[in-house]
Amino acid sequence: AGDGGDAGRKVDFILAVGDDRSDEETFIAIEECIADPNSAVMRSTACPLPGTVQAAGHDHLCVYVSTVGQKPSKADYYLDDPEDVVQLLGVLTNSGANAAHA
C-alpha cells in the first residue's frame, strides 16, 4: 500500500530466479499477471515469453523466469548453478552502469 503516487505506472522488466519447488508459485503468479491485460505489467514484443502469444495491453515488458538447475519447471530458462546466477547479476549490473555512462 502506498500513497497513490505510483498509480498508473507499470512494470517493464521482471527477473525471477528460483531453485526449489516453492519458487514455482512465483513463476505461476508471473504467468498469470502477464495473461491479464489490466495487471501492473506491460508485455514486450521485443522479448515475449517463449512459446506464448502476446497478450493485449502488455507491449513493453521483458520477462525472464529461470530455475537453477535443469528440472521440470514453469520457468522458461535455467541456469546451471548459483555461480551462474551471480554471473548473470554481475552482467546485468555492469550493463546498467555502462548504459548510465553512455
What is the mean predicted confidence (pLDDT) over 9-23?
A: 85
101 three-class SS: helix
pLDDT score recorded for residue 46: 42
Top-confidence residue, 25 or 49: 25
pLDDT score recorded for residue 11: 72
Say if pTM beats, i.e. exceeds, 0.85: no
- C-alpha–C-alpha distance, residues 24 and 19, integer Å: 9
Predicted confidence (pLDDT) at residue 86 exceeds the cutoff of 90: yes
Closest CA to 81 of 62, 95, 67, 98: 67
Per-residue confidence band for 55, with pLDDT thresholds at 50, 70 and 90: low
**H or E element that contains 92:** helix 82-101
